[in-house]
Structure 1
C-alpha cells in the first residue's frame, strides 16, 4: 500500500493546511497509480519540534520558517 510521509516543523502549518496537504498529495499519487488505490493510500504528517530540524548545519525554528514564507531571509 502506498505511504506518503511528510515532515514539517511543528506549528508552521494549520490543521486546515495539513488537511489540504493530505488531500492534494493523495490526489497526486492516485493520479499516477489509479483511483482503485485511493482507499489504501496512506498519508502521514510528522511534526518535528522547532529547532530539531537542521539545514546546512544550522537549526531551523518555527519562526525561521515563517520568516522564509514571508520572504524574509533567515
Structure 2
C-alpha cells in the first residue's frame, strides 16, 4: 500500500492546490504500481509552520516561498 507524504510550508497552497497534489500523486503511484493500488494509495499533505523549515542554514517562511512563486510567474 503506497504512502506519499508531502510537506509544504503553511499558507502557500490553497485547498484546491492541495487536492490537485493528492490527485496527481495518486495517479503517479497508480501508473507505477497498477490500478489495483488506487484504493489503497494514501497521500498526506502536511503543512510546516512558517519559519520551521530550513534550507542551507536559513529559515524559509511563507513569504519567501510566495516571492519565489511570484518571480517564476513573471
TM-score by length of 1: 0.95
Higher helix share: 2
Q: SS of the residue aligned with 2:71? A: coil
TM-score between both structures, scaled by the size of structure 2: 0.95
- Give structure 2 stretches of 5+ with no counterpart: none
Partner of 2:24: 24
CA offsets 1:2-56 (integer angstroms, 9 cap, x no match)? 1000000000000000000000000011001000000000000110000000000
Secondary structure, aligned partner of 1:20: helix
Equivalences for residues 1-74 of structure 1 within 5 A = 1-71=1-71
Q: How many residues align?
A: 72
d(CA) in 1 for partners of 2:59, 2:10: 13
Following TM superposition, the consecutive aligned residue runs of length 4 or more in structure 1 with deviations greater than 2 angstroms are: none
Superposed CA RMSD: 0.9
Q: Which runs of 5+ in 1 are unaligned?
A: none
CA distance in 2, matches of 1:16, 1:37: 24
